[in-house]
Amino acid sequence: MVLLTGACLTVTFTGRALAQPSATLRKVEPIPARYVRLEPSPFADAMAANRRYLLSLDPERLLHNFYWSAGLEAKKPRYGGWESESIAGHSLGHWLSACSLVVANTGDPAIAAVLDHTLAEMARIQAAEGDGYLGGTTAERGGKEVPGKVIFEEVRRGQIEVTWTLNGGWVPIYTYHKVLAGVIDAHLLAGNERALPIALGLAGYLAGVLAPLSDEQVQTVLSVEHGGILESYAELYAITGDARWLQTAERLRHRAFVDPLLAGRDALAGLHANTQIPKAVGLARFYEMSGRTDHGEAAAFFHKTVVDHHSYVLGGNSEREHFGPPDQLGGTLTTGTCEACNTYNMLKLTRHLYAWSPDGALFDYYERAQLNHILAHQRPDTGQFVYFMPLQAGAKRDYSTPENSFWCCVGSGMESHAKHADSIYWRGADALYVNLFTPSTLDVPNDVKLELSTRYPEQGEVTLRVARPSPSVATLAVRRPGWAQDARIAVNGRVLSAPVQNGYWRVTRAWRAGDTLTVTLPMALRAEPLKGAPDIYAFLSGPLVLAADLGPASQAFDGPAPALLVRSGPTSALASGSGAHRYATVDVLGQRQDLRPFNALYDRRTAVYFQTFTPTAWKAERQDYLASEARRADLARRTIDTFYIGEMQPERDHGLTATAGQPGTFYGRHSRSIPEGAEVSFTMARRPGAAFLRATYWGNDVDREMLIEFDGRQIVVERRPGPSVNDWVTVDYPLPPSDQKRSKVRLIGRRNTSVIYGLALIETPRADA
């Protein structure tokens, strides 16, 4: 039975139990995706490609480590990539959530069957564990790989050691959360009866691990990336009404993250972005369950801070996975921008904020990120995913492989492209909201049926046809995008002067079957500066970010990056091309550049941001600009390996081990300390021929001594004698030739504590170059 009454859409289909405080805090709710059918469009294509990928994966391979941990025979070999490392299991959690989203939308019997089989196997494994534990992470003990459960039991006993890892395990609670969230989604979204008992067992085990710990010990555990574990416990409280889960959720608020937000302070610079965003999602759900207004305000402040001060034109954020200083994105246009997981989680947070206060500006952001980042991060022909969305001019997108990647962004990508139907239509006490212009049919039995037809965003006309009016809703609230100048709305062909409130046209009338509501959105060109770099611009046509097509991804791009002459504003540099959202320009070097929507250039090299010059400035700066671009391109060609030491993923990628010392940050740069007597080891890529190691230090760090060794051979003893310099200092160390593909590097502290802020292995320039 389904009723569109009151503030919420009431659906009775599973054991979702109690309204809790959220019934009064949430003013609108998304209409469940089961009542939404996507019509042909890029969104439907993305979901179809994603469905094919979900069905291609073998859940018994994803469960390999789970069987092994419980002492059961693993039926099939595990996958490669991250699923063969100590983080194994996170992909299963995302896969469970993605399958549940598909079932919730379409009832897909093939997906439902494989989901049910997987949950049955998980219940069997959990029973073999005997205490609610269910996991696939691993750890190393005594030089051997052992089940990751050992870490949880050590934590239970108060044995807690943290760096990027928890007791040497790669983010075990992060992975545990993914599994718990996936099972919760199987209960809430797919209505699978096996799921809730598994979820309660998982939650009970981890709550038991944390129970003996002091609050300070819990905070130490939370200093390691832990995903949205707070959100999951708040959700279990919503499902069961059991106060134990809300009490556990309260302990899982990471104070180092929460306290600055409560004070209204942006303290994000230097922090790992996707460690923080799920915490904000958790705060939002905790607010909905606890009624703690300050926590809701903190989540909203975080969202506004990230969107307004840390985001690129695509709607994504972070460079090399980290936030930088606010409003200072100049110099960050690299191949490591816009991690996909960040945007996946920002859209989850957006939905919470919107439920509390339906403001069209929130869905302006949602649409921007969905069209320009999420759609762009899936390769439409294979369904594979991009980790970073590179904004460096000339960069290409690097896609996952079906069985040997399993990065975090593969997992979140499975979910992102299973939910294109879940946020189009929302319901409040007095209106039905249309937030996204996605071709679709909304059909709520015994209630409203709407047909949304459009070629948006390719074209700007959207038609809503009332196939069956709602007996209880007289107002349709249609989002008027903030970017859309001269937009208009008409009913049955008659243009209305409907009032715009909080970003919505609100049309109230006695709707009849066959009524049509038409929205016209002129797709005007506009420019948007890069935060902190007022002479660098991106261009948008309507909701779509444009990019210059710099050639096939299979061919190298040596630059220089295209720059533009502007005379009367940045858009004056572009002329309309042939077709919608097509523009052309001639860059400062006289080369034609064709711009079209970024999300469609999945197999091309692109430029999204453009340095701009007035004619006078170009005349004065031409030689310096070209020389700078030539140096940049030359250094990029000669750089063999760049090691962002002090960052979690680069340290894992380079196999770093340390006997002592810690990662740190200073002036927005990450670092690693090497105390006297400590040893830090890692590997770096090599090429045949002469090369040198470039190390970055802070100039005031003097009177230090450190030995640098390559492949067992001493290269130098770096003594840092001074004088002090209040700036960054780079030192180059020539290396002996090597035919190896990788070299082992050792840094040994000799006197006082040395600190390194970056390493690069670079080919020596040829004498004739």
Q: What is the number of alpha carbons within 13 Å of residue 296 lying toward its C-beta?
A: 19
How many domains is the chain built from?
3
How far, in Å, CA of 272 to CA of 644, rounded?
13
Task: State mean pLDDT over 54-68.
Answer: 98
Q: Which of 443, 452, 466 is CA-nearest to residue 512?
A: 466
Q: Are residues 653 and 713 in the same domain?
A: yes
pLDDT tens-digit map of 178-232: 999 999 999 999 999 999 999 999 999 999 999 999 999 999 999 999 999 999 9
Tens digits of per-residue pLDDT, 529-549?
Answer: 999 999 999 999 999 999 999
pLDDT digit string (tens) for 579-591?
Answer: 999 999 999 999 9
3-state SS of 180-196?
Answer: HHHHHHHHHCCCCCCHH
Predicted confidence (pLDDT) per residue in 423-440, tens digit? 999 999 999 999 999 999
- At residue 23 the predicted structure's pLDDT band, cuts being 50, 70 and 90, is low
Q: Does residue 447 lie within any of the structural domains?
A: yes
**Rounded (10°) CA dihedral 550, 555, 557, 563:** -10
The verdict on residue 26 lying in a domain is no
Is residue 541 in some structural domain? yes
Pairing mode, if any, of strands 609-613 and 563-565? parallel
33-54 pLDDT, tens digit per residue, is: 999 999 999 999 999 999 999 9
Tell me: do 759 and 645 sit in the same domain.
Answer: yes
Q: Is residue 650 part of a domain?
A: yes
Count Cα neighbours of 291 within 13 Å in the Cβ-side half-sphere: 5
Within-domain flag for 190: no
Count Cα atoms within 13 angstroms, Cβ side, for 304. Answer: 13
> Rounded to whole angstroms, how far apart are CA atoms 647 and 517?
52
Residue 459 lies in a domain: yes
Residue 429's identity, in one-letter code, is A
Q: Is the pLDDT of residue 308 over 50?
A: yes
Task: Please tell me the distance from the alpha carbon of residue 475 to that of residue 468, in angstroms, as a whole number.
Answer: 14
Q: How confident is the model at residue 243 (pLDDT cuts 50, 70, 90)?
A: very high
pLDDT tier, 20 (very low <50, low <70, confident <90, very high otherwise): low
Cα 30 to Cα 17: distance, rounded to the nearest angstrom: 18
What integer best gives the mean pLDDT of the chain?
Answer: 94
Give how far Cα 59 sits from Cα of 176, 378, 403, 405, 557, Å. 17, 22, 12, 16, 40
Q: Residue 384 contacts by C-beta under 8 Å, 6 or more apart in sequence? A: 53, 378, 399, 400, 401, 402, 405, 410
Instruction: Name the residue among 319, 325, 334, 237 with its Cα closest to residue 286.
Output: 237
Same domain, 442 and 477: yes
Please give the Cα distance from 257 to 576 (Å, whole number).
Answer: 46
Q: 675 near 661, Cβ under 8 Å?
A: yes
446, β-bridge pairs: none
List Cα–Cα distances, 537 to 369, 569, 571, in angstroms: 18, 11, 9
Tally of helices (H runs) and strands (E runs) in the chain: 20, 38
Question: What would the two tokens of residue 176 be?
Answer: 């545990």
Q: What is the CATH number of the domain that holds 430?
A: 2.60.40.1180
Model pLDDT, residue 1:
27
CB-based contacts of 325, cutoff 8 Å, min separation 6? 269, 668
* Dihedral over Cα of 47, 50, 56, 60: its sign: negative
Q: Are 116 and 50 contacting, i.e. CB atoms less than 8 angstroms apart?
A: no
Boundary residue ending a domain (613, 630, 661): 613
pLDDT band of residue 769 (cuts 50, 70, 90) is low
In a domain, 487, yes or no: yes
To 5 degrees, how large is the angle CA 109–CA 114–CA 115?
Answer: 95
Provide the whole-model pTM.
0.92
CATH code of the domain in which 740 resides: 2.60.120.260
- Residues 609 and 506 placed together within one structural domain of the fold: no
List all residues 6 or more positions away from 514 whose beta carbon is below 8 Å from its beta carbon.
465, 466, 467
Q: 699: which 2 tokens?
A: 């100039």
Tokens 């003097």 — which residue? 702
Mean pLDDT, residues 68-74 taken together: 97
Mean per-residue pLDDT, 463-490: 96
The full 3-state SS of 240-256, as one line of letters, equals: HCCHHHHHHHHHCCCHH
Rounded Cα distance, 81 and 93, in Å: 16
Report the percent of the chain where pLDDT is more than 70: 96
Q: Which two tokens stand for residue 761?
A: 């292995």
For the four alpha carbons of 749, 755, 759 and 764, in that order, the dihedral sign comes to negative
> 511: closest CA among 454, 438, 450?
450
- What is the domain range of residue 660? 640-763
Task: Give the distance from CA 358 to its chain's centroid.
Answer: 23
Distance between CA 585 and CA 640 in Å, rounded?
Answer: 34
Residues 605, 537 within the same domain: yes
pLDDT the model gives residue 629? 87
Contacts of 561 (CB under 8 A, 6+ apart): 393, 394, 607, 610, 611, 629
Residue 21 confidence class, pLDDT cut points 50, 70, 90: low
pLDDT band, very low/low/confident/very high, at 768 (cuts 50, 70, 90): low
Q: What's the start-to-end Cα distance of the chain, in Å?
A: 76
Among residues 520, 554, 576, which one ends one of the domains? 520
Predicted local distance difference test score (pLDDT) of residue 558: 82
Average the pLDDT over 103-132 and give the result.
98
pLDDT at 12 (0 to 100) = 28
Final residue of a domain: which of 613, 631, 650? 613
Position 24 confidence tier, pLDDT thresholds 50, 70, 90: confident
Tell me the one-letter amino acid at 159.
Q
Query: Looking at the structure, do residues 695 and 590 belong to the same domain, yes or no?
Result: no
**Residue 316: what pLDDT?**
98
Within this chain, do residues 651 and 753 fall inside the same structural domain, yes or no? Answer: yes
Tens of pLDDT, residue by residue over 340-355, are: 999 999 999 999 999 9
In 3D, which of 561, 694, 689 has the Cα closest to residue 631? 561
State the Cα–Cα distance between residues 248 and 150, nearest whole angstrom. 22
Amino acid (one-letter) located at 756? I
- Is the same domain home to 529 and 489? no
Residue 399 neighbours by CB under 8 Å, 6+ apart:
379, 382, 384, 385, 386
| Each residue's pLDDT tens digit, 649-705 | 899 999 999 999 888 877 668 899 999 999 999 999 999 989 999 999 999 899 999
Each residue of 361-412: pLDDT tens digit? 999 999 999 999 999 999 999 999 999 999 999 999 999 999 999 999 999 9
% of the chain exceeding 90 in pLDDT: 89
Position 367 in a domain: no
CA-to-CA distance for 459 and 463, rounded, in angstroms?
12
Residues 682 and 655 in one domain: yes
